[in-house]
């Protein structure tokens, strides 16, 4: 199993657990919840690997530096 499959399996397992714990209740705003749970640690790790160089981090993420900056501000990382 490669790293991508491991990450996908981790997400799948945790989503299944979330729905199990949720029981009969309906989830709301699931897209935002999952994105915010994944995006912040992704930004933290990439910024660390890029030695806080936003241009290099943006390149690693495949987004523009301006988009990265907006995301960093949104997640209170700068």
Band of the pLDDT at 2, cuts 50, 70, 90? confident
CA of residue 30 relative to chain centroid, distance: 13
Q: How far apart are CA 17 and CA 51, in angstroms?
A: 35
Q: Quote the pLDDT of residue 4.
A: 79
Tell if the pTM clears 0.85, that is, is over it: no
pLDDT tens for each residue of 35-77: 888 999 999 999 999 999 999 999 999 999 999 999 999 999 9
Q: Are 61 and 46 in contact (CB under 8 A)?
A: yes
pLDDT tens for each residue of 5-36: 888 999 899 999 999 999 999 888 999 989 88
Token pair belonging to 2: 């490669």
């Amino acid at each position: 199993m490669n790293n991508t499959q491991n990450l996908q399996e981790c997400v799948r397992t945790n989503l299944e657990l979330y729905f199990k714990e949720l029981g009969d209740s309906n989830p709301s705003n699931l897209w935002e919840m999952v994105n915010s749970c994944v995006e912040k640690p992704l930004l933290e790790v990439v910024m660390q690997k890029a030695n806080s160089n936003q241009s290099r981090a943006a390149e690693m993420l495949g987004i523009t530096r301006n988009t990265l900056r907006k995301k960093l501000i949104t997640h209170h990382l700068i």
